[in-house]
Each structure stands twice: as C-alpha cells, then as structure tokens.
Structure 1
C-alpha cells in the first residue's frame, strides 16, 4: 500500500485539552472525572507508525492530528494521565521499535502493521494480552480480525480494519476512445486486453505493474492468482504459486508488456510511481487499493490530481471461468508492550479500549475506504462508485497470504527480485516462479 505517512518525525506532547475538542467528560461519583482526585500520575507514550488524517469531525489535515485530539479527549476523562504521541514515518517505525525493544525502552502503546511487524514482537513475548480490551463487547468484533491479532492462542494485537484491492479504470480515457467500462464491474483477461489495445496510445499507457520492492507486493501476487493458482497450502508448509496456473498468469502479464500495453520500467517502478501516472491522466488502468478514492478526492481539491481523472472501480481481473478473489493490506492496529507498573498497564488498556470504540473505528475506515474490524463500525459510503464496487468486493474471498508467519518479511525479499527477472526477460515465467517457491519452501521448512 502506498506510504501514508509524511517524512520526518513529529512529537506531540499532550498535556491538556486538545484544540477543537469541546465535549466534557461525564462526571464520576464524587464529581471527579475517572482517574481524578488523588489518583497516581501516569504517563503513557504512543508511537503511531501509520497515522491518519482528514478524519471526519476532526481538524486533522496532518498526520498525528487525530491521535493528538484523541489523546486529549482521553486525558479529560483521566486527568491523572499524560499521553505523549509520536508520529513516525512508516519507513522508519520498524527499525525504531526494534532498537527500542532491544534497549528495553519500547513505547507503551504501538500502532503499526499487525501481521508483519507487531506479530514479531508478539512471538517474542514482549506484548500484553488484550482480552480486557474486548471482553465487554467481543461479539461486536469480527472474528477474522481478532484472529489476525491472535498469536500462539493469545490476543496480543487489535486491528482497526483493512483495505481491499481495487482495479481502477480512468473512465475519462475510456469514454474518449469510445470504449465502454464494464457495468457489472468485472473483466476477464481477454476483455481487459481488448480494451487496453483500444485505449493505449503514445500519450496513454494501458496498465502498469511494479516490482521495485516489496511494497504493495500483494497486488502483484493477486495477478499471479488470476488463473486460479493457490499461493500456498492451508498451513503454509508448501508454496504452490509456481503451478501451471501461476505460470500462465505471469505469462499473460508479460504478453501485455510485449504488446506495448504496459508502462515501461516494471522492474524499477514502485506502487507510488504507478499511482502518479494515474493521477496525471496517463494511465488507463491502475492496480491499487480502496483508499485511492479518498486520495483522488483530496488531490483534485489541492491540484495534485488531473481534474479529468474519473475513477471507475472493478473487482480483480481473472482468466475466463476463474472465480475472482481479493488481497487486502493495511491490517494495522494497536499493541501494548509489557508493563511492570500495574496502574500504567491499566491505563494503557483503557487508552486502547478508548481508541477502538466503534465511533473511532467507523471514522477511520470511512476516511480510508476500509473494511471495519467491528460490526458496529459499518459506515455509509457516500462515493457512489465506491458504494457500488463494495457491494461486489464484499462477496469475494480474501486470500490469506500467511503474513503472520515469522519468516514472511524475508519471504517478501525473495519475491520481487523474481518478478524483476521475469519482466526483464532474465528468467522465464516458470523459472522465476520455481526459484521463488524453492526459496519460500526452504523458509517454511525452517519455521
């Protein structure tokens, strides 16, 4: 998924009521807010590695603004608590946390990617269990999301939601060429190929693939599954994407490149460059994720997006006769590092419980066009195109890529070089996938 966090680190020290927050906490018995009176002072640190902005109802134009205001609201309810929020770029947070854990000085609360990053700390036994966060309303949490944060049988991380894969067509380009977009929001390989031949020209690329790094690699994986291949077996002891169906899918992608329908430079293109082409009106078909809807809306207002770009979302493109499936990303959420102070642990749990209230999960997922982790987090999609698309997406199977496997980060480093080799014609589709699967199965065997 594209980087949603600005470069640089912003430290936000919350010591009073956040600007823009006007609600007053409901007094507790004795006229004090919870935690008031002679309660022991508590200071919590929170590192947010993938923050939010433009949250409805909040002055949140910058990353960290929402967290700052939520911390301020929490402090009004608990006057003895001070919350220090640090917003850290996505590219920096993993290393920062690793160093802090090694030095026995991690943050109290962490917001980051769960299956790839937080799960590593969960396996190392340095996180608190979060059963107390969900015990009062566990039935409201979707089982798939609780499972996502459950490591070795313990709930150690709590996701807010995820964002699904979407194939975007620039409707303006298709209309100018007299090509209809699929009203059922689905395409087969041949239908897409025929359409790309009609819309691609010297000023417009048909579609773009990217293999510069592991970023957003789930989108490339999805393409490899479009002929019916399976990524791996159910227990991830064997990877199987080098099946004839997987080879056929990669061969199809390369055939589009050979016919001049793919933007040049797949081996050196990343997901952000891919999106830039679409924003500039130079790309007819974009492989990306649902937050693109919001990014385009904001971009049109600030001039970052060509005003002619009109997104039309469809489900993943597949070979004729194959049932579409989707991949998801953005499975981000909260974790609490081990606490020696019982009062601090109690307030950290209360803070995470506060952050994961239904109204907060709803607001965040609405801003990102995400799938909410709580049933009560369902929101009305105001964008008509997105609303119609989600009716289709919600019916599709979500592919489990085994992201919470201990070796998954290493596995990703083995994947994109093979995609580079295939698109550079240094390896055949079969050789590239065979080599990846060999490495993947060796990692799985080591566990």
Structure 2
C-alpha cells in the first residue's frame, strides 16, 4: 500500500517479498471525482483509490502510485530512464511518451484493445499508434482521455461594460477575426487589463500561442512529414507579427515571455479576459470558485464578475479552421518477468475500462477515449454545441508522433520570447527556429 502526501511525494509501507510491486506514475490530472468527492480532495487521491480497487482483486499485487507535477514529468521520468529504473506504468501525454517508444523501451499494447478497438475514438488512437522498427503501426499507449483546444472567455468583462454585443453568443460560439480584434481593442486598459492571455515561457501550453499560427494558415508540419518543419513561412511570419503587435497594443499581457502557470490565476482575478484553453478549464474554474480565488470585479462593486464561455478560436478569412487535440494515455515500460508483465497488463486493462475512463473524463472535463464512456458534458448544452463545431474542424498536427517532438517543441519558446521582447523580428525568430530544427532533424533524416 501507499500513503502519498501531496503531488510528487510518497511513503511506502513494507511489502511482502512474495507480492509483485507495480510502480505507477501519473499526471496531476484530476481531483474531486464526481461521486467520490470526499475521497478525492487532492490530485493523486483518485489513482490511490483505483490502486486499492485493483489490489482488492489481486491480493498478490502492490501498486505504488506517485503523482508527478507537470515539470517533473519532463525531468524525473527521463532521469529514471537513463538510470535504467523507470516506473512500470506511466500515465502522461502521448507527445512525451512517444519519445520512450522510439527509444525502444516501451511494451506494445495492441493486445489490450483486442476486440475493442472500434470503441476508441479515432482522433485519440491516431496519436497512440506509432511505427515499430519494421514499419508496422503499434499501440504505444492506451488512450485514456484528452482535450480539444478552444477559447475560454469571461464574457462578464464585456457585459458589465455594455460591450457584450461584440462577443459571439452561446448559440453561435464562432468569431470572425475582425470581430475578435474589435472585442480586444474595446476593453484593453494599458498596464491594467489585457483581454488576451498568452505565455511563451516554456513549451508547456505552447498550443495556446500556436493556435494563432493555425489561424493564419501556418503549419508546424505538413502532411505528417516530420523530416522538416514548415512554420517558417509567410503565414507563420504574419501570425507572429500579429501576436507581437497585439502585445505592443496592450491586448496581450506584458509578462507573456515569463508567464507560466500563473495565467489561470490572472484569468480568475480578471486581469485577462480570454485565453486559449481546453474544456478542463471549467473544472479548474469550479475548484477556483470553491477556493475563493475567482475575484474578477469589473465595476469594483464587491460582486464577482465572471461568466465562463467557450468559443471556437478565431480564424482568418479563407483559412481552414484547425484545432489541436491532446491525448493522455497509459504506457508500460519493458518488463523482463513474464508473470509481472501479465499483472501489469491486467492493471492497464483495469485502468482503461469504460467506467474508469468515464470517471476521468467527467473529473477532468475532457473527452473520454472510449465512445461507450458517453459525454461528460451531458449537463452542459453550450459545451456540447461548441464541441460539435470543433468536431467539424481539421485536427492541427503538433507533431506528437514525431521521434523529435519534445526536442523540437522546447526550442520554439525561446525564439518566441525574443520576438515578444523585441530582440528579434518575427521573421528572424522563425528563421532561427528553422535552423535549429534542421540541425536536430538532420541526425535522423538524411
């Protein structure tokens, strides 16, 4: 058994030598799971709950769970891989776990979906299928749940100033780009209120800024060709020029180059009015509301002004709308002992059953990977409407299945920082990123 005090810390009780120990590391994905609110007040509680359920069925097993914060998912796991002691099971974003597949240290998991593949949503399966050394597509991760990026708007910012007519409606949550610009211009207050939240401090959340590249018709990769990047294009330069101008005009907050996880707090406080985000933000909003962190007050009357609405992100006229999907899945590191391998696979089978996926989807306010898990938005007609519109958009290719995804991903933010800080022109920043990308890619594609 395991007692865990907060994310990324653990205490292990002594284990009977005859029992099989499974180390399960995971994202800080959910808390306050519907129906289990009292048992899941903190991140990591739900995974411990699931571990106990599995151990009750398999008394020969001890599952030790460890909740890693977002930063340690990119630091601690690679260190354990280098040391030859990774966890047995890892739940994380497929853009990170794909790198372990290309290192040849993950188990293929196709057998876990035998007879059930049709129940999994195509947009999540496509990110989990990767080529093996013979070129065959293999399942490197069992999809759990995921998100599609939208635009989160606190429409109370505009409504309280009599400017609500500048925004889309819940019945038609779409923008023209000129409408979006007019809405930003109308409420911006230099040095005090920035209508659009953005961050390029790190690669975490890079899809927020990349959404505006897709809005201009730019692509990071074209037609799944991962031998070259294509963001350094006329469309890409135009997109970055727009972002830099928006920053100079006071539409984007001034700490864009250094802001990280504080972006949501700025949203709750009412210092920014909208930000690209997944639907999980609604769950974060409910928690922030409970914790009295939502303090936006437009007219300073002591009453909180917050009305969360989701829309499709704006897209330039003539550009085909593209939205990024992010898939969280469960991977298994190579197992030498066949008995333990069987039990690890049974644990992953348990975690990926419909009922568990449904719980994750509802708690995270994300889309469940299984169709049989139903919709977590049954009581949210506005969200169902915008999700329906999102399903009609083409998926944006972030390169999550590329062997060099993370290495390239972390090289773009510094160039964007230079552009926002005025140290490079947008054209120079993207040209320099392209040069770095060519150096990285030349090691594999010759």
Task: Tell me whether the two structures share a fold, i.e. TM-score over 0.5.
Answer: yes
How is 1:88-103 mapped onto 2 (pairs within 5 angstroms)?
Answer: 88-103=68-83
Stretches of structure 2 that go unaligned for 5 or more consecutive residues are: 296-303
Other-structure match for 2:267: 278
Deviation, structure 1 residue 347: 0.9
**Partner Cα separation in structure 2 for residue 323 and residue 103 of structure 1:** 45
Contact persistence 1:242–1:437 (CA under 8 A): yes
Cα offsets for 1:370-413 (capped at 9, x unmatched): 12211112224123432332222222111111123222222123
Q: Among residues 198, 206, 215, which one is paired with 2:195 in the alignment?
A: 206
* SS at structure 2 position matched to 1:376: helix
1:85 is the counterpart of 2:65: yes
Contact persistence 2:93–2:328 (CA under 8 A): yes
1:291 is the counterpart of 2:280: yes
**Partner Cα separation in structure 1 for residue 6 and residue 174 of structure 2:** 34
Stretches of structure 1 that go unaligned for 5 or more consecutive residues are: 17-39
**Partner Cα separation in structure 2 for residue 226 and residue 155 of structure 1:** 31
Deviation, structure 1 residue 119: 1.8
1:142 is the counterpart of 2:128: no
* SS at structure 2 position matched to 1:163: strand
How is 1:357-368 mapped onto 2 (pairs within 5 angstroms)?
Answer: 357-368=353-364
1:223 is the counterpart of 2:212: yes
**Partner Cα separation in structure 2 for residue 232 and residue 144 of structure 1:** 17
* SS at structure 2 position matched to 1:197: helix
155 and 139 in structure 1: CA distance in 2 versus 1, 3 angstrom threshold: same
Deviation, structure 1 residue 139: 1.8
Contact persistence 1:293–1:369 (CA under 8 A): yes
Q: Which runs of 4 or more aligned residues in structure 1 lie more than 3 Å from their structure 2 counterparts after TM superposition?
A: 5-8, 10-16
* SS at structure 1 position matched to 2:226: coil
Other-structure match for 2:301: none
Q: Among residues 136, 152, 175, which one is paired with 2:159 in the alignment?
A: 175
Q: Among residues 434, 437, 442, which one is paired with 1:437 in the alignment?
A: 434
Deviation, structure 1 residue 145: 2.5
**Partner Cα separation in structure 2 for residue 429 and residue 282 of structure 1:** 26
Deviation, structure 1 residue 125: 2.0
Other-structure match for 1:341: 337
Other-structure match for 2:100: 121
**Partner Cα separation in structure 2 for residue 124 and residue 366 of structure 1:** 33
11 and 395 in structure 1: CA distance in 2 versus 1, 3 angstrom threshold: farther
**Partner Cα separation in structure 2 for residue 6 and residue 244 of structure 1:** 47
**TM-score between both structures, scaled by the size of structure 1:** 0.87
Other-structure match for 2:247: 257
Deviation, structure 1 residue 44: 1.8
Other-structure match for 2:397: 400
Deviation, structure 1 residue 11: 4.3
Contact persistence 2:47–2:65 (CA under 8 A): yes
Other-structure match for 1:236: 226
Q: Among residues 176, 180, 184, which one is paired with 1:192 in the alignment?
A: 180
Residue range with higher mean Cα deviation, 320-329 or 171-180: 320-329
1:158 is the counterpart of 2:142: yes
Deviation, structure 1 residue 208: 2.6
1:356 is the counterpart of 2:346: no
Cα offsets for 1:122-181 (capped at 9, x unmatched): 222222221221113222122332332223232222121211212122111111122222
**Partner Cα separation in structure 1 for residue 115 and residue 278 of structure 2:** 33
* SS at structure 1 position matched to 2:349: helix
**TM-score between both structures, scaled by the size of structure 2:** 0.87
144 and 239 in structure 1: CA distance in 2 versus 1, 3 angstrom threshold: same
99 and 429 in structure 1: CA distance in 2 versus 1, 3 angstrom threshold: closer
